[in-house]
Amino acid sequence: MEKLKPKLFSVMKTYSKEQFVKDVIAGIIVAIIALPLSIALALASGVNPERGIYTAIVAGFVISFLGGSRVQISGPTAAFASIVAGIVARNGMDGLIVATILAGMMLIIMGLCRFGSLIKYIPYTITTGFTSGIAITIAIGQIKDFLGLKFENSPIETLDKAREVIRCIGTFNIYALLVGAVSLAILIVWPMMTNKLPVSKLTKVLATIPPSLIVVVVSVIIVSVGNLPVNTIGSLYEISNRLPAPHIPVASFAMIKNVMSDAFTIAILAGIESLLSCVVSDGMIGSRHRSNMELVAQGCGNVASALFGGIPATGAIARTAANVKNGGRTPIAGMVHSVTLVLVLVVLMPYAALIPMPAIAAILFMVAYNMSEWRAFRDLIKTAPKSDIVVLVTTFVLTVVFDLVVAIEIGVVLAAILFMKRMSDVADVHGWKYIGANDAYDEDVDPDSINLRKVPENTLVYELSGPMFFAAADKFLQIGLEPGKNVIILRMRSVPAMDVTALNSLEKFYNKCKRSNIQLLLSHVEEQPLSMMKHAGFFDKVGKENFCAHIDDALAKAESLK
């Protein structure tokens, strides 16, 4: 069984000075990358910019300290932006704090109950659908700042924002568009340029500079030197460089009830994204994470983040990859990343007021593009079965039109229904053809085949295959009773599992056989169905002697009942 032990405690046994230096360098570089992203994601979530930094500091440190991964970097991510903005709009910051604390508690319980492996049962179509939907939601939400529009209303829902953009398109600011276009060009061209330059020490240094940081510096210079009439963070928000302080929310039962579904969505998202990031990083460093410990750490990190003024956090794949790329190999790198952000918050946060909003919008456009998984979406549309396409498109549309809570709830239910439909189609009951004494058969085929056996003339044999559960329980109705037959054998070697509904149908069939003076024999019943039959009393009702280990035993017994 997987240990509930933080990776930090394991790696410290062999920790070295050389690795410490690498972890410190990686942590500082990741902090530089996280700075503009944390600010941008906080603004996209409808909260003040410093709350994104608080999240990266508090949650990032706690999750690295307690986490089940060697290299996971946690903090605010785009996956939460739309749901956080909705919670804040409806219930204020206290509502967000309560929802995040509840989500953290759910994650802790999931980890302690060792649910880490259960996250894999969320279908890929659902994660792709809501991820692409979130990307569209973020992109639409940034059009206002990218174009410098002046909204007449303050819409919350994505479609309302799109309508408001169209209504107010005449108010666009050419200077805002210019700053946004330059910022977007830098974000696209800088990585391409550094990849094409000849390998040298200078190239390596340039490659470590995140393009988002360059965008921040260049856009501030353009707007400040040109004295352009463009909104900045400081003109819209009050900037604080205070260290995060604990805050206990004012909570009521009504508020808890209102945010419970949001908390569940945050918990599921945090679990999925953090474990997905762990799997990706495992492949990069040849390690193996502890999924249950990671869930506990994510829960503790979210509770701490909420209490210290932050927003929901989870593992960030891009920042984790940057950590690995720059030499980080232990949780120390993640902790250094958080400490570095503390220094940045105190010293540099007042200068964040100068960052133009179009630059923030451009950064979030790139975040949305990178998380959109449009290639995976396209490939699924082309190659996936129709039922999977239905789940994918439904989840995507619901995420954009309504919200993530509705999308995940309906997506999971729809996927479960379609899965059960598939399983019921796989489950089958078919009869064996009677082979007379003079019929020829081939000795060289499957030794368990009916063709190698003589079925008594008084006997019908039915082969059951596939899981027998409530969606397939009606398969027993296909078993017919024929005149002159007084024995029916149900061969169950290919039934791996059975639920109570199927067992109830089987019991009704047994009673039908009993009324018709037909003896029911069961052959090769697997462990799970047999255990259920014993617990339900069906085993005793049919009689131990009528359960046969092999089809040959069942046929011999049927022969004796002529």
Name the residue ranges covered by the structural domains of the chain.
Answer: 19-241+269-372, 428-560
Q: Are 276 and 371 within 8 A, CB to CB?
A: no
Tokens encoding 21? 């230096």
Neighbours of 560 (CB within 10 A): 9
Provide the whole-model pTM. Answer: 0.75
- The predicted pLDDT at position 287 comes to 87
| Cβ contacts of 412 within 8 Å, gap of 6 or more | 122, 123, 126
- The predicted pLDDT at position 479 comes to 77
- The predicted pLDDT at position 410 comes to 87
Q: Please report, as a single letter, which amino acid is at residue 166.
A: I
- Which H or E run includes 96? helix 81-112
Interatomic CA distance for residues 130 and 134, integer angstroms: 6
Interatomic CA distance for residues 434 and 195, integer angstroms: 72
For 492, the 3-state DSSP assignment is strand
Interatomic CA distance for residues 381 and 404, integer angstroms: 21
H, E, C per residue of 157-196: CHHHHHHHHHHCHHHCCHHHHHHHHHHHHHHHHHHHHHHH
- The predicted pLDDT at position 432 comes to 58
Q: Was domain 428-560 assigned CATH 3.40.50.11540?
A: no
CA distances from 103 to 106, 267, 300, 317, 434 (A): 5, 5, 10, 20, 60
- Which H or E run includes 300? helix 291-307
Q: Are 63 and 74 within 8 A, CB to CB?
A: yes
Q: Give the residues across from 494 on adjacent strands.
A: 465
Of 395, 390, 420, 417, nearest to 408 by C-alpha is 395
Interatomic CA distance for residues 160 and 341, integer angstroms: 36
Tokens encoding 171? 């108010």
DSSP sequence for 451-479 = GGSPPPTTEEEEEEES-B-GGGGGGGGG-
- The predicted pLDDT at position 2 comes to 74
- The predicted pLDDT at position 42 comes to 94
Query: If phi over 0 gives left and psi between -120 and 50 gives alpha, with beta otherwise, what is residue 10?
Result: alpha
- The pLDDT profile of the chain, 562 residues, written as one tens digit per residue, is 678 999 999 999 899 999 999 999 999 999 988 999 999 999 999 999 999 999 999 999 999 999 999 999 999 998 898 889 989 999 999 999 999 999 999 999 999 999 887 766 778 888 888 889 888 998 998 999 999 999 888 787 888 899 999 999 999 999 999 999 999 999 999 888 877 778 777 777 777 788 998 999 999 999 999 999 999 999 988 888 889 989 888 888 999 999 999 999 899 889 988 988 898 888 889 888 999 999 999 999 999 999 999 999 999 988 998 899 889 999 999 999 999 999 999 998 888 899 999 999 999 999 889 888 888 899 889 888 888 899 899 999 998 888 777 887 788 788 878 777 766 665 666 665 443 333 443 444 455 555 557 888 888 988 888 888 777 777 776 677 788 889 999 999 888 888 888 888 899 889 989 999 999 999 999 999 999 899 989 999 999 999 999 999 999 999 898 7
For 77, the 3-state DSSP assignment is coil
